[in-house]
Amino acid sequence: MNVDLITRDDLEKFKKELLEEIRSYQQYPRKKGEETRVWLKSYEVRKLLSISAGTLQNLRINGTLPYNKIGGLMYYRYEDIQKLMEGVNNLK
């Protein structure tokens, strides 16, 4: 049986790498020269957060993520999504 020991330094290195990767996913993916849009559609939010339609619906229902409905489309403010990712509870 092979046993690999994990040191405190290994865990610190893993933590730093993981945080860097998470932060890179929090950046809104945009094309070169394109400005960040203020409002995003549901499919864009799902793609940005890597969540399902049901999870997005739960975020709407429990008030975690504010939205505006125009016609049949839901729109979300990019700023609210950033606050959600940062753990800010007071979005309104």
Q: What is the DSSP string of 11-60?
A: HHHHHHHHHHHHHHHHSPP--TTPPPPSEEEHHHHHHHHT--HHHHHHHH
Please give the pLDDT value at position 27.
56
74 pLDDT tier (thresholds 50, 70, 90): very high
For residue 28 the two structure tokens come to 């809104």
> In this predicted model, what pLDDT tens digit does every residue of 3-60 receive, in sequence order?
889 899 999 998 888 877 766 655 555 555 555 678 899 999 999 899 999 999 999 9
